[in-house]
Structure 1
């Protein structure tokens, strides 16, 4: 057999289905819950707990993206199994606010359901290459799910240790297994699906504006703060989708051999998208806190949420673009540093930091447009 070519008959493209979009709406409820949980406790401990839960959840969400990329949900059995997976994600989301207290068991049970459905459906219907690769990966996934499940019964400190161990196992499993190259990736579907979840996560940031404004008098101060928050979220969208970045990502993946494409999918859409989504969550918390205290100073945690969240988002973008070789990162690196530099501004006046971030992203996007003009 000759060397691999970029396209094979196994990667016939298809559009993201409405059932997958419905699945994503259930998943994004977890993003809403994580945002609310972090907004209620922005201490280092609260942030650490949210990061652990986010990475645990994202591992299996991304797993379902890989699943539906290989196994289109076009039969009754597959749709019913996906509904079971959605039910597991819903239980996880409901448990998030008290996952390190009395709801840890529910979190673990929901996660185990999600994992069992994913492995079973992938192995049974994923096709020869993908099913075989998943059969070797499934013990690692089930091991992680076991740690999450058992951790739900432990005291909070030991629970954090067990769930952190689960995250570590998730991170190392593809490199211990080293067979991810056998998964077959449909580039257009894969890029579109990740883009859609970024959009719905950004929608959560818009909801955060409304929640932050709830019960406040509708005056000029509130309107300006809300519009600046909307502008910042819009700029995050532009930063991700502008200059046809999603189309260039699709073309970059399509030009790869199947094994290289699978490895790029893991790094560019797994490891890179985790900080992208984390950054969106953290920015949403910062915007929510700013809306209610626009002309007051932010506490350090709130100012770090705005500036640090934007920097985390850009760090994920930088790695994403670097891995797929789809553009220069010079201006994004500068913008990430500038975003962090806005933290002292927020300690002075909250709305001023929000305005400064809008300026930072405005300069970045102007530089992007000039580069691709």
Structure 2
């Protein structure tokens, strides 16, 4: 009966944890839908939207819609929102996709749309070219969804900025022509003014096309470097975690090293060598990784958090525990003193379990933050 009661108690303790894990938290999200009109934007009232997992909704008279979105474990925090309109086209965010940040309680998302019938052929062509370039980058599968969204946003903003300037120049041109329309014969100076205005418009068209191409190339290069850094940072930290766990796990069995038969001697030496290799790689490169995060994530706070993880790993785990412990064990092994070696290992084991658990938690946390900010 006692065993049966223990089983029930364990089930009662674990069931609520499983249920709670289904939804970790909620994010309060406010959507604002704006329509681009010439050189200004205005809210798009009563816009109809389709939100993933929610279905169709409608914005209010001010083009806004607020809702709570659940954050679940082991799911990509990407929300998909489609504008239900035959007239309007979404410029940003890309594909109506939003990368959520589970660390935030509230998020405000701005949608920018255009009435396709009201935009200039030049603007329409540039947006179409941008869509094709984004599709090409997607096909390469080298950039994350968040990076593609950020790239699209920068390029859309650039195109919109130059479109506003182009419209202003065209308006000035039309006004100039209107003022001169009553004249039968234009003077050389008047003709020159029209030619200069045309040249400004042509120069602007060339400039925006070159700038968007250069921006795309620069951002793609930056994001690829960012991905490379993330890969190297995560690999080195996870590799170190595995090797330090190997050191930890051999402590309870250290007395077996002194047996003539068995694999403990080979395993012990192999684990130490693998640990040294992982530590040396990380110790050599960690400063470069911190600088890489500050540069390619453009996030000093995130770089400081990564630096704190390395500091705990290098000082708290390696310098204060692993290094002196292994030296002590090796000393007792050389002197063939199994009892002393076992005593040292048993005393060190509980603290090492706690320290590695903390390190693993810190590593997972910083890697999650780095990934969410890709």
| TM-score, normalized by the shorter chain, greater than 0.5 | no
TM-score, structure 2 normalization = 0.23
Q: Which has the higher helix share?
A: 1
Q: Which has the higher strand share?
A: 2
TM-score, structure 1 normalization = 0.23
Larger Rg belongs to: 2
